[in-house]
Amino acid sequence: MTDHITVIGNIATDPEQRRTTAGIAVTSFRVASSQRHFDARSGEWVDGLTNWYRVSAFRALGENAFTSLSKGQRIIVTGKLKLKEWEAGGKKGIEVEIDADGLGHDLQWGTSSFTRVVRSDARPPATAVATSGDTRTGVAPTDADHDARADDAADEAAADWAPVGAGTPF
């Protein structure tokens, strides 16, 4: 069983990128997450204990994280939790790692700008694809056909969308 976790915190180290022997991009950095609470006696917000996590992001997520994130930024991380025991120089400890499924800036504390990355392995649009129940071609649609149509629809929807302030009426 894999434990999933979502953490909100600050990037504590500069993101580092390396590649596996297979050429897969891996970006890693540490995140510090402190629980804050209001102290009624002092009338102030105080920091509780800080939890430290090593975050690793692979493949496209790793590439995009390395380009987009930097030390000091407030982020939200979701992924698989891993506990790794270590021993060095007579000391022992446990490192808590998150194998990231998703990363993003915490918009509670600032703004962010999104740029869609076009994959180099993207398929060309399907030209004549049978749809469910379309018997004119005599060809049943495949999962790949469905995926291609979904990708095309998403591309068209994204092309029609414009951010607020870019001439849209909302």
Domain regions of the chain by residue span: 4-105, 120-160
Specify the pLDDT at position 36. Answer: 86
Handedness of CA 121, 14, 23, 88 (dihedral sign): negative
Specify the pLDDT at position 119. Answer: 76
Specify the pLDDT at position 121. Answer: 65
Specify the pLDDT at position 120. Answer: 73
Query: May I ask the CATH architecture of the domain 4-105?
Result: Beta Barrel (2.40)
Mean pLDDT by 10 residues, the chain (170 residues): 91 97 96 92 92 97 97 98 95 96 96 87 52 43 46 44 41
